[in-house]
Amino acid sequence: MRQEAQPEHVIGGRYRLIDRLGSGGFGRVWRARDQVLCVDVAVKEVWLPPTASDAEHAERLVRAAREARNAARLRDHPGIVAVHDVVVEDDVPWIVMRLVEGRSLADHLHTRGPLHPDDVARIAWSLLDALSAAHSVGIAHRDVKPANVMLADGGEVLLTDFGIAVHQADTALTAPGGFIGSLPYLAPERARGQRGNAGSDLFSLGVTLYEATEGFSPFCRDSPPGSLAAILFEPAPPPQRAGRLEPLITGLLEKEPRQRLTTSQALALVSPPPKIAGPAFPDPERPSVEWPAQKLADDPRVDLSSLKGTGDGGKNREQGVHVTVAPEPAAGRAATAEYHRLTVGDRCPGVVARIVSFGVFISLPSGQEGLLHISELRRNFGVREAEEAVSIGDQLHVEIAEIDRRGKIGLKCARSTGARAPGR
């Protein structure tokens, strides 16, 4: 029985494994050292389950060869992670790729929450350009999602993982009527069993951009059948944070492929990103956001009494929060709030982003979202339904009540009102 790979193991007599970078449904990705060229690379170890049949084993080998072949066709594109080599050791394929120093869009959204529309526009343009290159040579990616989008520390946006991509000349690897991929990002036609194509990639891109702006996937439900039904029959909720990107995102999310934006139409709705020096996306360990001083100082629903020095240019650094409020809010000066990693007990102002049957989702200055449960609203505002207490865009002063192992945040009101929200 093959032993699991460990750090310091050398693949193909050349690539020394250093540490694991991540894993997915089809393999593990390692940081490795190319001992010939003396550079670090990423090496993807394709999983071959020990219980797999001979046919499944053969399929994984064919899929790995396909991934390397398709990515190699696009290795010169600046928006696609380049593949350098394929090594088969002990009948297991290893794909050697460029090492991207940075993090995935999925990791960024998990630690920071939704992005500003200007940042999403840069991501959209880069991914559309990469997909256009792939589609022009007959390759459909078939698994566009935040986890397969890399945000490099130097500002690049790259598409990775062509593990289930298909070229127009490739033969099918799945049974008729079956599909593989990530369900919440699947295009309706693929959910109906059709083969992935350029249009289905664009739908998946639309879901990815929606999640990047809104902070959640529009078709993700509690169960796979629920997600599948949402993809096929339910429209995406109207974007609330997309701004100028709304026509792009809604156009990509058309369920009927013939009505969906094409790549050229989508590119016409965004501009090429400007060249930047240094990191394009904020450090997730030190997120920052600007709040208008007028809203902080004058809105009666925002309690600043617990923050020392607010209103006179003072600074407070309690519970990991640093807040500076301009002394003359009427002059339009901004209050800058720099929020470090949130912990239980932190207090901060928040904005009502979504209202659901079981409570409201609050957008926090750190870029994350937290849930204020309906029971908390009932206890503090004396109402039965969330809509009776708050509206989208309202500001509330909240406290972090819990953060579970998946990073989901539970909130409570920072002070009990015993009445309806002020100003309503």
The CATH number of whichever domain residue 330 belongs to comes to: 2.40.50.140
Residue 84 φ/ψ, nearest 5 degrees: -105, -30
Residue 275 resides in a domain: no
Residue 230 resides in a domain: yes
Domain end, chosen from 267, 300, 327, is at 267
14 and 89, same domain (yes or no)? yes
136 and 215, same domain (yes or no)? yes
Task: Please check the confidence at residue 224 and state whether its pLDDT lies above 60.
Answer: yes
348 and 262, same domain (yes or no)? no
Residue 197 resides in a domain: yes
232 and 155, same domain (yes or no)? yes
217 and 257, same domain (yes or no)? yes
Residue 421 resides in a domain: no
Top-ranked range on mean pLDDT: pick from 189-198, 378-387, 399-408: 189-198
As a dihedral over the C-alpha atoms of residue 221, residue 224, residue 227, residue 231, rounded to 10 degrees, the angle is: 170
Task: Please check the confidence at residue 24 and state whether its pLDDT lies above 70.
Answer: no
State the residue range of the domain holding 75.
10-97
369-373 and 409-413 beta bridge pairing: parallel
pLDDT in tens, 286-337: 333 333 333 344 434 334 443 333 333 333 333 333 333 333 334 443 344 4
- What are 290's two structure tokens? 């600007």
156 and 215, same domain (yes or no)? yes
More reliable by pLDDT, 149 or 177: 149
122 and 229, same domain (yes or no)? yes
Q: What is the pLDDT of residue 71?
A: 67
238 and 309, same domain (yes or no)? no
Residue 298 resides in a domain: yes
Distance of CA 80 to the CA centre of its chain: 17
Domain end, chosen from 238, 267, 296, is at 267
Catalytic: 161? Answer: no
263 and 362, same domain (yes or no)? no
* Interacting residues of 156 by C-beta distance below 8 A, sequence separation 6+: 78, 79, 100, 102, 126, 150, 280
161 and 309, same domain (yes or no)? no
Residue 32 resides in a domain: yes
**What is the separation, in whole angstroms, between the first and last Cα of the chain?**
68
Domain end, chosen from 97, 112, 143, is at 97
Residue 4 φ/ψ, nearest 5 degrees: -70, 140
- Residue in the block written with tokens 């698994």: 143
Catalytic residue among 119, 129, 143, 394: 143
- Do 128 and 270 touch, CB atoms closer than 8 A? yes
How far apart CA 163 and CA 168 sit, in angstroms, is 15
How many structural domains are present in the chain?
Answer: 3
112 and 153, same domain (yes or no)? yes
Question: Residue 242: how many CA atoms within 13 Å on its side-chain side?
Answer: 23
pLDDT in tens, 73-126: 787 888 998 888 888 887 788 888 899 999 999 999 988 889 999 899 999 999
Q: What is the pLDDT of residue 250?
A: 96
50 and 196, same domain (yes or no)? no
